[in-house]
Structure 1
Amino acid sequence: MYHKLSGEKRGVVGVGSALMDLLIFEDDAFLAGISDVKGGMTLVDGDFADGVLEKVSSDVTVVPGGAACNTIIGVGRLGGQATFVGKRGRDSYGDIFETDLEKNGVTPRLVTSDTPTGRVLSIITPDAQRSMFTYLGAASELVPDEISTAHFKDAGIVLIEGYLVFNRDLMMKTLKAAKDAGAAVAMDLASFTVVEEALDFIKAEVIPSVDILIANEDEARAFTGVSDEEAALSAMSACADVAVLKLGARGSRIAFGGKVTDVEPVVGADIVDTTGAGDLWAAGFLYGMVSGYSAETCGRIASACGYEVCRVTGADIPEEGWARIREYLPAS
């Protein structure tokens, strides 16, 4: 599908925040009591995160997370060559995080710190929407000197987490190392709040190095400044060789080589939680791309991944879900 992936490199390497997801089921009134923002991602400090946990009335589910990590785990579960680069604390959360990567077929390339492992409070309301409050912890301490071209020597694609824009020197070092290693760079815009806060930097410094640009409707609107989906996708495709507009339950649109491919969603009535939906969609898509599949096939695999993760709490798809997803893979 993608001209820069015609060589032998088939690895997908993710660079991002090593975070634990704390999944909290509460109503809209609870969310309104701590924030006036529903959806998206808000950076918070450790005291804020601890304060929210003290108010929680429901059980808290703890699972490894972080946008790029979720995507790379998905690539690993699909049978791809997957690596994750990040920074964790020397604590029990960090141990769980690293062990989980290995269990899911991902090679961890993790630096350690005395600072606690980062965590995300994902508040899930009855409409299955999730609002994320992120304490980065050790994840924010990854520095440019800890990234090198060697991390990407086997990478066909390097996935740059959108949240990395809050560490600009690290973002620029990662982009340069990925390009020097000959990898294509994919960026998932991650959250409309992230795009709004760092738009000028993203457009001026990051996008010139991006080959694959992925966004949902809200992120595309924040990035392009237009609401019309056709115009937004067109503006995105002017910035990258491959542009993807994720449309949730309406499927997705993939712009590549002057052609737009519309992909139907995989749908069902058993949606429990949208946590990780975009991340796992990207997992299927990037796995398909690095495998040389067509845009339509990449989109179908991605849609299956996005649907299956919405059938469970958190971003951990069970084996029976992965078995259904693998039915979308072309016969070898």
Structure 2
Amino acid sequence: MKPQGKTPRIVGLGSALVDILVHESDDFVRRIGVEKGGMTLVDMPTLEKILNQVSGAPIEVPGGSACNTAVGVGQLNGCARFVGKRGNDDLGRFFEKALVERGVEPFLMTSDLPTGRVLSIITPDAQRTMITYLGASADTRPEEITAQCFHDSAVVHMEGYLLFNPDLMAASLNAAKKAGAKVSLDLASFTVVEQSQTLLEDIIRRDVDILIANEDEARAYTGLRDEARALARLARHVDTAALKIGARGSFIQNKDQVYRIPAQGSGQAVDTTGAGDLWASGFLYGLVNGYPHEKSGRLASACGYEVCQVVGADIPADGWMRIKEELEE
């Protein structure tokens, strides 16, 4: 799908957030009253109250689902841009500088609100539960997202969290199509799907070209537990659908062709933060550079595996070397 006459740029569109990573027990997650594995939106006082209860020193890294995907593309030496809104504060400046250092072109608006942040609670099974204060990212206005944000782009990759702002989602989809880009949508979280079912069905039918979901998200969207049937349902209105099944790998459907992609590596997961986001990095990088779907899926699996071997969504240099070796093979 490498477009003729266009740079195969991938643009991530979503929340500009800083990840705050902590290790805690399942009991801690129950005690603060959120659903394990999900994403809960909170205000700043609530986030600070929970942060005051954590037992260890948090680690801060740039994050946000679509941002993680853009960073992965940049680290693969792809052409990457991230569109979002940060606060006019030290955390926002840290976020923007970190994008540049990771090979991503920042296309950032600023707000007087604080930069958004996510408390990512990592439990002993490597699962992550997210407590999110959107801050400045929630201040993005529909009129700020124009076709100029996506000029010279092959794919605009949107995170499902945008569904919480229907007007912003509609403006973003319209701008991407005006720019001539394909639209990739990651369903992001089963809680997002459950709360946005009607809107989601409509935009997938009308505007989405590439749809990416994990098992929980696919089940919430389709109501189906059978993987083959769920994949077919995901693919019904799009060119390409991907169903990620964790340590067992993934399935990709392009039109009537289904590919079974095995998982990469054999190490035990340390943290699943960013696993789906980096999977999307490899997959979309492959597609825009004209790789077959199966090869794109293998690259996606390699990216997803490597990010699970570290805490957070920042794959270190040796991990990227192994991924690039996979790419060369």
- Please give the TM-score of this superposition, normalised by the length of structure 2: 0.98
1:9 CA drift (Å): 3.4
Partner of 1:23: 21
1:271 CA drift (Å): 1.9
1:257 CA drift (Å): 2.8
Partner of 2:180: 182
Partner of 2:267: 269
Matches within 5 A, 1:86-125: 86-125=84-123
1:160 CA drift (Å): 1.0
Closer/same/farther in 2, CA of residues 255 and 83 from structure 1, 3 Å limit? same
1:6 CA drift (Å): 5.1
Closer/same/farther in 2, CA of residues 36 and 15 from structure 1, 3 Å limit? closer
**Given residue 197 of structure 2, which amino acid in structure 1 is its aligned partner?**
L
Aligned residue for 2:172, secondary structure, equals helix
* Structure 2: distance between partners of 1:89 and 1:292: 37
Partner of 2:230: 232
Is the contact made by 2:204 and 2:237 (CA closer than 8 Å) also made in structure 1? no
1:91 CA drift (Å): 1.0
**Given residue 234 of structure 1, which amino acid in structure 2 is its aligned partner?**
A
* Structure 1: distance between partners of 2:11 and 2:152: 9
Is the contact made by 2:34 and 2:40 (CA closer than 8 Å) also made in structure 1? no
When structure 1 is superposed on structure 2, of 159-168 and 264-273 the one drifting more is 264-273
Aligned residue for 1:110, secondary structure, equals strand
Partner of 1:209: 207
Partner of residue 128 from structure 2, selected from 127, 130, 149? 130
Is the contact made by 1:265 and 1:303 (CA closer than 8 Å) also made in structure 2? yes
Partner of residue 60 from structure 2, selected from 59, 62, 79? 62
Partner of 1:328: 326
* Structure 2: distance between partners of 1:189 and 1:307: 20
Q: Deviations over 1:172-207 (max 9, x none)?
A: 111011111111000000000000001111112354
Partner of 1:73: 71
Partner of 1:292: 290
**Given residue 319 of structure 1, which amino acid in structure 2 is its aligned partner?**
A
Is the contact made by 1:249 and 1:267 (CA closer than 8 Å) also made in structure 2? no
1:254 CA drift (Å): 0.4
Aligned residue for 2:199, secondary structure, equals helix
* Structure 2: distance between partners of 1:21 and 1:74: 16
Aligned residue for 2:267, secondary structure, equals coil
Runs of 5+ consecutive residues of structure 1 not aligned to the other structure = none
Is the contact made by 1:124 and 1:273 (CA closer than 8 Å) also made in structure 2? yes
Partner of 1:317: 315
**Given residue 91 of structure 2, which amino acid in structure 1 is its aligned partner?**
Y
Q: Deviations over 1:155-183 (max 9, x none)?
A: 10000111000111111111011111111
> Could you say what the CA RMSD is over the residues aligned between the two structures, in angstroms?
1.2
1:279 CA drift (Å): 0.3
Q: Deviations over 1:211-233 (max 9, x none)?
A: 00000000001111111111100
Partner of 2:31: 33
Is the contact made by 2:14 and 2:158 (CA closer than 8 Å) also made in structure 1? yes
Structure 1 segments (4+ residues) deviating >6 Å: none
Is the contact made by 2:81 and 2:104 (CA closer than 8 Å) also made in structure 1? yes
* Structure 2: distance between partners of 1:6 and 1:251: 32
Aligned residue for 1:57, secondary structure, equals coil
Query: How many residues end up aligned between the 2 structures?
Result: 329
Is the contact made by 1:215 and 1:246 (CA closer than 8 Å) also made in structure 2? yes
* Structure 2: distance between partners of 1:20 and 1:153: 26
* Structure 2: distance between partners of 1:218 and 1:309: 20
**Given residue 47 of structure 2, which amino acid in structure 1 is its aligned partner?**
A
Kindly indicate whether residue 144 of structure 2 is the aligned counterpart of residue 146 of structure 1. Answer: yes
Runs of 5+ consecutive residues of structure 2 not aligned to the other structure = none
Q: Percent identity?
A: 56
Closer/same/farther in 2, CA of residues 89 and 308 from structure 1, 3 Å limit? same
